[in-house]
Amino acid sequence: MPVLRIDGKEVEVEKGTNLIIAALKAGVYIPHYCYHPLLKVVAQCRMCFVKIEGVPRPTTACTVTVDKDMVVDTKDEKVKKLRNLALEFLLQHHPVDCPVCPRSGECDLQNFTYIWGPERKRYDGKRRLKGWIRVSEKIILFKERCVLCTRCVRFLRDFTKTGGLSVTQRGFLSDLTIFPEKFADGSKYSGNIIDLCPVGALVDEASSYLPRAWRVQRTLTHCPMCERGCRVVVEAWENKIVRVKTFDNMLDKAEESLYSQNKNLIQPAYSEIIGIEDIGAHSYDKLYTQDLIMCDIGRWEWRNFFFPKDTNPLSVRGGIKEEISWEDTKKVARTFLSYDKKAILVTPYATNEEMTKFKELAEKVDADITLLPPLEGEEDDILIKRRKAPNYIGGCNILGGVKDEVISKIKSGQYSALIYYGMGANKGSISQKDLRGDFIVIIDLRLERDDFVGVFIPATLPYEKSGHYTFEGNPKKINPACERIPYEIQLCDSLI
């Protein structure tokens, strides 16, 4: 394998590795806007200049692959000057409206300017004033903030193949232009252009008025909305989930060390992301599409899927509902043990740990147990999977899958006591309304009936708990973005 020596650090990399990635492996961050590992290299932002030994002039790193031993310097005076000029050029027309920009605090124009930018601009002429324009129902483009890196254009053209954005005109007049009729054709991945945009030009309208980067707590976990389990960052503020987005693999330890050199930066620290240690020594060791992008369902639909949600345990006695404490809930739930014919139904949204606990409970109290079926929908050959639940395979492995005979017996009232953990499951097969029994424990997002005797427990969301989901056959760790009582596990513990 060729050896890259960069700023005095040495690393062996696979032949053909892009120099920006190879440098990251050595712990050196080369600033860039237009480069992205999923997209074709176009070398148009001119931020990534480096000095390569044996090459007379500074070279753009994004166009170089490490094919043989190489000595690279990123701190060369000429290189710094070129970065400074590139930034001065970009800032000529930029509105510098950081105080109202939702990307402030995680913007590569802001951060690079702090580190390499000019102290003042020399250009005093006419500025391009372009305003803002709606790109889609959910996305707005603030044209003056755009640095014309064309990541969004290339993503829509080459990756999703839907098109919709293009750079028109030339030079001073260059403009990012929208073709709404094409954009409306509908990519299921349109939201990625928000994360791919290195500045605050493409903005998610729904989250633009939510707390900024330095105010939220970020947690690295996996999207539970289908069986793929894309890697996502969940942002929470005051213990509430505010945003779900992709994990920026460029935000890595090299970048952290770079940013820590400049005290003015407000970029949140890489080390402060909960669960970051799960990613291993380097996020670029293996690049999977599901680690770099996500679909629009995972990005936006979780709000409608999980909310509104009941928040307190309730005791239910034939039409009378009453809020009770968690301690009292566990006491009332013990009534379940006093019946002979018992059954437990578990959602494919349960973690492996929860499934194992419910199985242990079923064995201990001699109850029948079944997995509930997942919702199903469209799939594609990029990311989206047919089963709309994270842990169907885990449920097959641990609980033996969906047992239709148990579900039929429940519907025909052959059990006296039930535990129905139904959050996110396919209610077409069996819903809260189909449950028959003398005592019922319902664990779900919302209580949909009160004509029974038992308790209701608000389900813990996948973004609120820790454990593992067996996405596509591979167990992956999930981390909680908010602090919640793990009701499901504690219920089992209190009954075992």
What is the contact surface with ligand SF4 in residues (CB under 6 A)? 146-152, 176, 196-199, 201-202, 223, 225-226, 228-230, 290, 294-295, 297-298, 383-385
Binding partner selected for residue 32 from ligand FES, ligand SF4, none, CB under the kind-specific 5 to 8 Å limit: ligand FES
Partner that binds at residue 60, options ligand SF4, ligand FES, none, CB closer than 5 to 8 Å by kind: ligand FES
**Which of ligand FES, ligand SF4, none has residue 43 at its interface (CB below 5 to 8 Å by kind)?**
ligand FES
Strand (E) positions, 247-392? 314-317, 320-323, 342-346, 368-371
Question: 35 contacts which partner out of ligand SF4, ligand FES, none, CB within 5 to 8 A by kind?
Answer: ligand FES
Q: x/- site string to ligand FES, residues 23 to 52, per CB under 6 A?
A: ---------xxxx-------xxxxxx----
Q: Which two tokens stand for residue 127?
A: 């500025």
User: CA-to-CA distance for 99 and 215, rounded, in angstroms?
Assistant: 14
The smaller minimum CB distance to ligand SF4, of residues 51 and 228, is found at 228
Smallest distance from ligand FES to CB 83, Å? 11
> Of these partners, ligand SF4, ligand FES, none, which one is at the site of residue 460 (CB under 5 to 8 Å by kind)?
none
Answer with the entry of ligand FES, ligand SF4, none that 47 interacts with (C-beta below 5 to 8 A by kind).
ligand FES
CB of 62 to ligand FES, least distance (A): 3
Distance CA 20, CA 64 (A): 8
**Which residue of this chain has its Cβ atom nearest to ligand SF4 in the complex?**
298
> What is the smallest separation between the CB atom of 34 and ligand SF4, expressed in angstroms?
8
Distance of alpha carbon 35 from alpha carbon 43, whole angstroms: 7
Residues 6+ apart with CB under 8 A from 407: 345, 370, 429, 430
CB nearer to ligand FES: pick between 196 and 223: 196
Q: Which residues pair with 139 in a beta bridge?
A: 204
Which residues 6+ apart lie within 8 Å of 127 measured at CB? 92, 93
What binding mask, one character per residue, do residues 50-69 give for ligand FES by CB under 6 A, x or -? ----------x-x-------
* By the rule CB under 6 A, 151 interacts with ligand FES: no
Alpha helices (H) along 239-324: 253-259, 289-292, 296, 302-306
SS (H, E, C) 68-95: CCEEEECCCHHHHHHHHHHHHHHHCCCC
Rounded to 5°, angle at Cα 459 from 455 and 461: 175
Which of 31/313 has CB closer to ligand FES? 31
Q: Would you state the torsion angle of the CA atoms of residues 287, 150, 202, 62, taken in this order, to the nearest 10 degrees?
A: 40
Q: State the nearest-atom distance from the C-beta of 125 to ligand FES, in Å.
A: 25
Name the site residues for ligand FES (rule: CB under 6 A).
32-35, 43-48, 60, 62
